[in-house]
């Protein structure tokens, strides 16, 4: 999982086009990209699309972003799409691990009702979209075995706190949002799930997207959200381990395998310990996906 592409759930044309985008995950959106009056129709469109898309032999993972739990719309979203067995649900405006547990319970019921395997539907939570959520970032560890990833968002958060903007004139996040980003990264690490970076809004700027992907990968994120199919190729390239990185990781794993009792060893002039081994194993795991 490297790229996760949001697609409006009320547009059959955009949904069908996104199937060929190369995204690892398609997120059929029933939340922000669908107006209130169009949500009922969007549920029907999403369900029909999922039923058809699941028949494809080669396809991305299919997730659905439902409306947030406090809206009262989540149940109707799930009732519409769970019959089509999406691979996962994206939970927006998640307040805490308790929200993930609440969603998990709803999924368990609907899996039983639709003869789906228990626990088959995974969850990705958007964990920083409200000011209150920032104070509960440590609660996701152990919240649910369904939890596959944590991501963060700046736009809803900036609106919630009344900020004028989330980024500087140069496109960099301001201090409050860098804090939210950091907390999301740590929360994902603590929960042992994928850390997914937020969207880059200017889909015309490949240079800006590439720079933000590079910074995210450097810091520990393993994937990034996308808002346009044009962003997918760059995201996939940036989050795919390079041949050099894979070669180095293999050498580190091999060195420790040859010296199983070593706590520290030398390789090509570099001193390596167990954290190096853990990072190398993570690189190889990503390379297999």
Please compute the mean of the pLDDT values over residues 38-42 and round it to a whole number: 96
Q: Can you give the pTM of this predicted structure?
A: 0.89
- Strands, E assignment, 17-103: 25-29, 61-65, 88-91
E strand or H helix at 218: helix 206-219
Residue 61 CB neighbour total at 10 angstroms: 16
Two tokens, residue 5: 């592409």
pLDDT of residue 278: 79
Tally of helices (H runs) and strands (E runs) in the chain:
10, 10
d(Cα 128, Cα 171) in Å, to the nearest integer? 19
CA distance 248 to 244: 6
Q: Are residues 165 and 274 in the same domain?
A: no
Contacts of 88 (CB under 8 A, 6+ apart): 25, 61, 62, 63, 64, 121, 122, 123, 124, 148
pLDDT of 289 above 70: no
Please choose, from the candidates 111, 124, 41, the residue with its C-alpha nearest in 3D space to the C-alpha of residue 77.
Answer: 41
What is the average pLDDT value for the chain, to the nearest integer? 94
Structure tokens at 31: 């939340």
Rounded distance, CA 25 to CA 264, Å?
39
150/181 same-domain check: yes
Number of domains, the chain: 2
Residues 257, 206 share a domain: no
Place 283 in a pLDDT band, splitting at 50, 70 and 90. Answer: confident
Report whether 196 contacts 224 (CB < 8 A): yes
Q: Are residues 201 and 167 part of one domain?
A: yes
Cβ–Cβ under 8 Å, residues 139 and 97: yes
Statement to judge: residues 249 and 118 lie in one domain: no
How, if at all, do strands 223-226 and 3-8 pair?
parallel
Count how many Cα atoms sit within 13 Å of the Cα of residue 286 in the half-sphere of its side chain: 27
Asked if residue 179 and residue 253 are part of one domain, the reply reads no
Distance separating alpha carbons of residues 204 and 55, to the nearest angstrom: 33
Q: pLDDT tens across 55-95, in order?
A: 998 999 999 999 999 999 999 999 999 999 999 999 999 99
**Same domain flag for 276 and 134:** no
| Exposure class string for 274-283: b at 16+ Cβ within 10 A, else e | eebbeebeeb
Same domain, yes or no: 119 and 58: yes
Q: State the residue range of the domain holding 261.
A: 243-288
Q: Is 32 exposed, middle or buried (0-12, 13-18, 19+ CB in 10 A)?
A: middle
Residues 87 and 119 in one domain: yes
- Each residue's pLDDT tens digit, 142-169: 999 999 999 999 999 999 999 999 999 9
Same domain, 146 and 207: yes
Both 185 and 262 in one domain: the answer is no
Mean pLDDT, to the nearest integer, of 234-257?
Answer: 86
- Residue 170: CATH number of its domain: 3.20.20.60
Length of the chain: 289
* Same domain, residue pair 93 and 194: yes
Q: Could you tell me the pLDDT band of residue 122, with boundaries at 50, 70 and 90?
A: very high
């Amino acid at each position: 999982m490297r790229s996760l592409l949001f697609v409006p759930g009320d547009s059959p044309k955009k949904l069908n086009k996104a199937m060929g985008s190369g995204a690892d995950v398609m997120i059929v959106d029933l939340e922000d990209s669908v107006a209130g009056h169009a949500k009922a129709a969007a549920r029907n469109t999403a369900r029909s699309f999922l039923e058809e898309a699941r028949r494809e032999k080669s396809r991305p993972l299919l997730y659905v972003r439902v409306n947030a739990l406090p809206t009262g719309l989540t149940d109707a979203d799930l009732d519409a799409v769970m019959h089509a067995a999406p691979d996962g649900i994206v939970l927006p405006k998640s307040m805490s691990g308790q929200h993930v547990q609440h969603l998990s319970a709803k999924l368990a019921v609907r899996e039983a009702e639709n003869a789906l395997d228990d626990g088959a539907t995974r969850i990705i939570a958007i964990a920083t979209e409200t000011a209150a959520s920032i104070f509960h970032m440590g609660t996701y560890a152990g919240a649910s075995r369904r939890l596959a990833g944590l991501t963060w968002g700046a736009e809803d958060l900036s609106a919630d706190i009344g900020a004028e903007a989330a980024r500087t004139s140069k496109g960099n996040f301001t201090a409050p949002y860098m804090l939210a980003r950091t907390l999301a990264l740590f929360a994902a690490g603590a929960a042992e799930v994928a850390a997914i970076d937020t969207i880059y809004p200017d889909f015309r700027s490949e240079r800006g997207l590439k720079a933000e992907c590079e910074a995210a990968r450097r810091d520990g994120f393993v994937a990034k959200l996308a808002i346009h199919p044009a962003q997918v190729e760059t995201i996939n390239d940036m989050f795919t381990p390079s041949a050099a990185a894979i070669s180095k990781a293999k050498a580190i794993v091999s060195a420790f395998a040859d010296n199983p009792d070593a706590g520290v060893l030398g390789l090509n002039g570099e001193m390596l310990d167990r954290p190096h081994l853990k990072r190398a194993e993570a690189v190889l795991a990503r390379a297999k996906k």
